[in-house]
Amino acid sequence: MTDAASSPMLEIRHVTKRFGQLSAVKDVNLAINKGEIFALLGGSGCGKTTLLRMMAGFETPTEGAVLIDGQDVSNVPSYKRPVNMMFQSYALFPHLTVEQNVAFGLKQDKLPKAEIEAQVHKMLGLVHMNEFAKRKPNQLSGGQRQRVALARSLAKKPKVLLLDEPMGALDKKLRSQMQLEVVDIIESVGVTCVMVTHDQEEAMTMADRVSIMHDGEIMQIGSPSEIYEFPNSRHTAEFIGSINIFDAAVQHVSPQLSQFSCPDLACTLSVEGGTNAVEGAQLGVAVRPEKILMSRGQPQQANNWVKGEVLDIAYLGGHSVYHVELDSGKVVMATTTNMDRHEQRLTWKDEVYLYWSASSAVVLYQ
Amino acid sequence: MQTGKLSNWSKWFLSLGFFFLYAPIIILVIFSFNKSELVTVWAGFSFRWYGELFRDPQMLGAAWISLKIAVLAASAAVVLGTMASIVMVRMGAFKGKTAFTSMITAPLVMPEVITGLSLLLLFVAMGQTLGWPGQRGMLTIWIAHVTFCTAFVAVVVSSRLQELDESIEEAAQDLGAPPWKVFFLVTLPIIAPALMSGWLLAFTLSLDDLVIASFVSGPGATTLPMQVFSSVRMGISPQINALATIIIGLASIAVLVAWWIARREGIRAVKISES
């Protein structure tokens, strides 16, 4: 949650970026707090990279302002901004050794030689790369290159660290290991960090707050769990994880419980909490697959259940995803954990009842 | 295909190919040590023609002029060619980019006779209207060589520049280096091998050029190829064989040194990654 006492370290105010006719970023507002790890998450072409490049100073906003630590830097070139970036390709200087790479930024500040050496040693120690100091980048593995790139972007003690698809160039196994390691390093330094990624798992693992971008606009900002549990739109709900969305009409609203009628269900749909929609309005009611329970017999609840037939099963080891076809033809996904090895599991063509509690569902307004 | 072993057919064709390529050169080298005045009659081993070559002021003067022109033309072509490459590769889209790019590379496909003749006409017209260049000579040959060498350098350097990841330059800028410093600290060292090979290419092309130099040269500026060509017309002297052998020797040494440097770098890289 935002700390009211301190002003944000990085602020984006009504920023719009147009390339010719095309608007890559549309009137975006953001406030990123000191020491926070913030992720810009979205598909390709959603404007997240353009926004990051405006923070770094490689692009200038068409409208609006970028503020770092309260100072307007919109027209300050990248080489004068207290911001450093780790590039997707790492962009290490191939003709320089590891330590020369890390020292590059410090040399630009004309620091005394001893100070540079000490800082380079400290940074390489931070990423456990001191023994590789004399190597050239082409003599390093992908993970080692990333460590050097991180050390180089942290060496100047930037006010804001920008990460562009930080794990994009690594293979899957190394990725999950490096995600946690990079977060540890960033947190130990205490730098404010903005990262761009298209990988929701990466964003949720690494970031304190995530913003979902779509078509140049920010759809939702929140902690990973807020975004997952309380998506505010169909787009966010579908982008993060998988979800079942029922088209429903508002039937009755009270501050504790909202009731909907849905053509797919024989009973009433109920969702905990009130809504500000009027009766009869068409909305979406969403339920995550892992919050849907399955049974062979009819559940003991009046609302939120439906009968269907098992259409498809995806066995994933730890859990299985069941695709259940309702009488209306709609297919609903439900997940079960495979706790017992010899359990009599539901199988294809089985008749099954799906049910969930009113606190599991969310209302989507748009 | 089997590795390591060549079939008889392959060996046969390989030898034929090498023979075709190198037999003339070997014969030339052998005959440079010939005692006889006749180029094709062997009369015993001698360094006679090397001695004559080094006592021939015209030949030495021509070689000196050619070397000076080649070094100066290659250096100027590298500067201009690199600047042109940066405009073509890094400046993004601008009006007239296609025209600029094709005009830079046009001299590559232009017949030398046309390049030479058009430059001659230009120099004559300029001499008449502007009074400069008053006389054709080393300067005009140098200008002519720079124009066509620039095209070759631009092609070599721009292909290297295209391969260079632009984010490397952005990273340097991000770390606090203003654009001119980025160029000298990052771009230039990375593309240096391309500049070197561009320079060598321009140097050889300039040293080798006969046609264009013949058009734009004036009295007092005879390059080595011009000198060789005119003396051959008088009858082939074994002195030319001696000169050719020296040039082949120098070229071989240059190639060997380049190979040795490359190999040493390679070995060092392997050693470091093994340790």
Indicate if the pLDDT at residue B105 is higher than 90. no
- Residues B36, B119 within the same domain: no
Tens digit of pLDDT for each residue in B227-274? Answer: 988 888 877 778 888 888 988 888 888 778 877 876 776 666 566 555
Give A47's DSSP letter. Answer: S
Query: Cβ of A87 and B170 within 8 Å?
Result: yes
What ipTM describes this predicted complex? 0.85
Identify whether B186 is part of a domain. Answer: yes
Q: Distances in Å between the alpha carbon of A94 and those of A315, B164, B195?
A: 46, 10, 17
Task: Report how far apart, in Å, the C-alpha atoms of B59 and of each of A178, A279, B52, B224 are.
Answer: 68, 104, 10, 7
Please indicate, yes or no, if residue B189 is contained in any of the structural domains. yes
Higher pLDDT, A340 or B140: B140
3-class secondary structure, A68 = strand
Per-residue pLDDT, B271: 61
Which residues are within 8 A (CB) of B150 and not within 5 positions of it... i.e. 6 or more apart?
A: B76, B77, B80, B81, B84, B104, B107
Q: A91 and B165 in contact by Cβ < 8 A? A: yes
Q: What pLDDT sits at residue B265? A: 63
Q: Is residue B147 part of a domain?
A: yes
Shared domain for B110 and B211, answered yes or no, is yes
Distance CA A328, CA A308 (A): 9
How far is A212 from A155, CA to CA, in rounded Å?
A: 30
Q: Which of A9-23, A265-279, B130-144, B148-162 has the lowest mean pLDDT?
A: A265-279
**Side chain identity at residue B266, one-letter code:** G
Question: pLDDT-based confidence at B196, cuts 50/70/90?
Answer: confident
Pair B88, B204 in one domain: yes
Instruction: Report yes or no: A263 at the B interface, CB cutoff 8 Å.
Output: no
Query: β-strands A160-164, A83-86: how paired?
Result: parallel
Helical pair B224-233 and B188-208, crossing angle rounded to 10 deg: 20
Contacts of B250 (CB under 8 A, 6+ apart): none
Q: Is B168 on the interface with A (CB under 8 A)?
A: yes
**Prediction pTM value:** 0.82
Burial class (CB in 10 A: 0-12, 13-18, 19+), A263: exposed
Angstrom CA distances, A172 to A38, A176, A188, A318, A321, stand at 22, 7, 25, 19, 22
Residue A230: count of CB within 10 angstroms of its CB: 14
Same domain, B237 and B152: no
> Are B82 and B42 part of one and the same domain?
no
Q: How many CA atoms lie within 13 A of A162 on its CB side?
A: 27
Question: What pLDDT, on the 0 to 100 scale, is given for residue B219?
Answer: 83
User: Quick check: B157 and B85 in contact, CB under 8 A?
Assistant: yes
| First-to-final CA distance of chain A | 25
Q: How far is CA A271 from CA A286, A287, A359, B214, in A?
A: 10, 10, 6, 93
The verdict on a CB contact (< 8 Å) between B189 and A134 is: no
Give the residue on A whose Cα is nearest the Cα of B170. Answer: A58
Asked if residue B192 belongs to a domain, the reply is yes
* Domain identity same for B214 and B229: no
Could you report the average pLDDT of every consecutive run of 10 residues in chain A (366 residues)?
Answer: 66 94 93 95 92 95 95 94 95 95 95 95 94 93 93 96 91 88 93 94 93 94 94 90 91 87 89 83 91 90 91 90 92 89 79 92 86
Looking up tokens 């953001």 gives A30
Question: For chain B, how many residues are written?
Answer: 275
Classify residue B274: in a domain, yes or no. Answer: no
Give chain B's mean pLDDT: 88
Residues B249 and B171 in one domain: no
> Rounded to an integer, what is the distance from CA A109 to the centroid of its chain?
34
Does residue B189 share a domain with residue B104?
yes
- The domain locations on chain A are 10-237, 242-364
Distance of CA A21 to the CA centre of its chain: 29
- E-only strand ranges, A50-159: 63-68, 71-72, 83-86
Q: Class assignment of domain A242-364?
A: mainly beta
- Which residue from B209, B48, B9, B228 is spatially nearest to B116, judged by alpha carbons? B209
- The per-residue DSSP string of B33-94 comes to TB-SSSTTS---B--HHHHHHHT-HHHHHHHHHHHHHHHHHHHHHHHHHHHHHHHHHHS---
Q: Which of B172, B190, B272 sits opposite A104 (nearest CB)?
A: B172
Query: Tokens at residue B202, please?
Result: 């321009």
* A91 with B181: Cβ contact below 8 A: no
Which residues make Cβ contacts (< 8 Å) with residue B37, sequence separation at least 6? B238
Helices (H), chain B: 8-32, 48-54, 57-90, 97-109, 112-129, 138-163, 166-174, 179-182, 188-208, 211-216, 224-233, 238-274
- Specify whether B97 is located in the same domain as B50: no
CATH class of A10-237: alpha beta
Greatest CA span in chain B, whole angstroms? Answer: 72
Task: Clarify whether residues B215 and B83 are in a common domain.
Answer: yes
Mutation target to probe the B interface, by most B beta carbons within 10 A, among A19, A53, A92, A108 is: A108
CA distance A202 to A170: 12
**pLDDT confidence of residue A4:** 46
Cis status of the peptide bond prior to B133, with omega within 30 of 0:
yes
**What residues make up the domain containing B242?**
22-55+223-261
Regarding whether B102 and B201 lie in a shared domain, the answer is: yes
Residue given tokens 């930037």 in the structure block: A158
Residue-level pLDDT at A1: 42
* CA-closest candidate to residue A324, choices A264, A266, A263, A284: A264
Question: Could you say which residues from 22 to 51 on chain B have a Cβ atom under 8 Å away from some Cβ of chain A?
Answer: none
Spatial distance between the Cα atoms of A29 and A14, rounded to a whole number of angstroms: 5
Nearest by CB to A84, which of B174, B189, B269?
B174
Subunit contact B171:A93, Cβ cutoff 8 A: yes
| Tokens coding A51 | 């926004």
User: Is B17 a domain residue?
Assistant: no
Examine residue B60 and state whether it is found in any structural domain, yes or no.
no
Burial of A86 (0-12, 13-18, 19+ CB in 10 A): buried
Q: What is the pLDDT of residue B4?
A: 62
Q: Residues B89, B214: one domain?
A: yes
What long-range pairs does A25-29 form, CB within 8 A, spacing at least 24? A25/A50, A25/A51, A25/A54, A25/A61, A25/A216, A26/A215, A26/A216, A26/A217, A27/A63, A27/A64, A27/A217, A28/A64, A28/A216, A28/A217, A28/A218, A29/A218
Radius of gyration for chain B, computed over Cα atoms and rounded to the nearest angstrom: 24
A positions 87-126 inside 8 Å of B (CB): 87-89, 91-95, 104-105, 108-109
| Residue in A with minimal Cα distance to B274 | A139
For residue A271, the SS3 value is strand
- 3-state class (DSSP) for residue B120: helix
For residues B183 and B265, the model is more confident at B183
